[in-house]
Structure 1
Amino acid sequence: MPDPTPTVTFNEARSRYEIDVDGVLGGYAVVEPTGAGVVRFPETVIDPAFREKGLGSRLIDEALRDAAARGQTVVPLCPFVRSFLRDHEVPGLQIAWPPGIDQG
């Protein structure tokens, strides 16, 4: 049986990006629009049943690529998002690092 293919979508009603694995919510990344095209990423949650499968990285990669495509500036408050950004380039993404946060 092939591995399930996760899909990432933006749930506008809950203001979060969600990763779905064969109909099961595998995790989500909360976004907080602050106005003027700026969004904060304060929290990322992956269901323990799906940890260590790369879902967090896939979720954040697709969420940040979508933010870049929308022309949004991202404020990475979540430690996982900050770590991802230190290790990966997201083409076209504008980042507003919080004061006092090491950018890598």
Structure 2
Amino acid sequence: MTRIDPDRLTFLRDERKSRYEARLDDTVVGVVEYSPRDRTMIIVHTGTKPEFRGNGIAARITQHVLDEARKLDHRVVPECPFTAQFVAEHPEYADLVA
């Protein structure tokens, strides 16, 4: 496992691929993939590159995506088990669930 400072992560929304990317410099280290439906994001997958697991990247990008959904006045359907668990453990995001 490669240790990183999660504060160095940047996040990018790639609408063409329907995903958010967590980047460390120019390297994609994590993703959240979604299926857009009107003003709803169906979150289908959260993943971190194996060598970067254990750094909190999945939690950071999930939090970013949920915060972005709130800013865009979108709802979310957390089909991804990681995202569903994250929302269950962070009730401040419960109002976003469609």
Which has the larger share of helix?
2
RMSD: 1.8
Counterparts of 1:57-76 in structure 2, within 5 Å, are 57-76=59-78
Query: Which one-letter code corresponds to 2:16 in the other structure?
Result: A
SS at match of 1:84: helix
Q: Which has the larger radius of gyration?
A: 1
- Unpaired stretches in structure 1, ≥5 consecutive residues: 97-104
CA drift at 1:3: 3.8
By relative contact order (CA 8 Å, sep 6+), the higher-ranking structure is: 2
Moved over 3 A (4+): 89-93
Q: Return the offset for 1:90.
A: 4.0
- Percent sequence identity is 30
Matched residue count:
94
User: TM-score, normalised on structure 2?
Assistant: 0.87
User: 1:9 corresponds to which residue?
Assistant: 12
SS at match of 1:14: coil
Q: 2:18, 2:34 within 8 Å by CA — same for their partners in 1?
A: yes
